[in-house]
Amino acid sequence: MGTDNRHPSGGLELGYARVSTTKQSLERQLDVLGAAGIPDQQIYADKKSGATVERPGLTELLAYARPGDTIVVYTLDRFGRNLREVLNLVYELNEKQIGVRSLADPLPINTADEGLGRIAFLLLALFAEMERTFTAERAAHARAVAEAAGRRIGRPVAHPADKIEYARLLKQQGSSLGEIAGKTGIPKTSLHRYLAEVNPAASTEGS
């Protein structure tokens, strides 16, 4: 797939498929792209997490695409880690006169269209901006409510206080981290943090 570096004249339809883990299968996306008439040699693919920055298939595709081409995907989310990243990429492609077409979104999008496809894409951009605004407002409201109530803001304690106190007691009795983890069920990574919180006081008492 996507190994021929020669680029014929005239606009091409180039496919892109991605799955988020190596255990997932690309077959469904590849079948849909093939059914849309895209030859195997014009389909690029990645088996990478959306959180992974390096996506060699997408990088190769973007380097190959030329003005007048259209990149076809199963759904737009195959392009990136979040809606904003997807929109940025589609806008960049639009600036290079490279179209984008999705096949299985609830409202399939074709940025080359002047009608519903273009309207749908603009709506997605609007929803992305609304999502960003609403998220910021919810976070600000939650902070204000917590501060007004005098509550601690931040990550909640993952383990019950009685277990943490038991772990500290075991530590004072000379138990190893492995023994404490086994008796309390608290992972060693968390124990390091909980036990370190009392070290300054302990050292002060002994001075």
| Distance (Å) of CA 123 to CA 134, 137, 150 | 16, 21, 40
Task: Give the span between the Cα atoms of 46 and 63, in whole angstroms.
Answer: 15
Strand partners, 17: 45
Ranking 18-32, 51-65, 116-130 by mean pLDDT, the lowest is 116-130
Does position 199 have pLDDT exceeding 70, yes or no? no
For the segment 110-153, what is each residue's pLDDT rounded down to a tens digit? Answer: 887 776 566 766 777 667 666 666 677 777 777 777 777 766 55
For the segment 170-193, what is each residue's pLDDT rounded down to a tens digit? Answer: 888 888 888 898 888 898 888 888
> Is residue 20 annotated as a catalytic residue, yes or no?
yes
Sign of CA dihedral 186, 187, 188, 194: negative
Task: Cite the DSSP H helix spans in the chain.
Answer: 27-35, 56-64, 83-95, 116-148, 161-172, 177-184, 188-196, 199-205
For the segment 70-108, what is each residue's pLDDT rounded down to a tens digit? Answer: 999 998 889 887 777 888 888 899 889 999 999 988 777
Mean pLDDT score across all residues of the chain:
80
- Of 9, 20, 49, 102, the catalytic one is 20
Please check whether residue 68 is in contact with residue 62, taking contact to mean a CB–CB distance below 8 angstroms. Answer: no
Strand partners, 13: 70
CA angle 123, 124, 129 (to 5 degrees): 95
Please check whether residue 111 is in contact with residue 104, taking contact to mean a CB–CB distance below 8 angstroms. Answer: no
The CATH number assigned to the domain with range 13-113 reads 3.40.50.1390
- Spell out the domain ranges in the chain: 13-113, 161-199
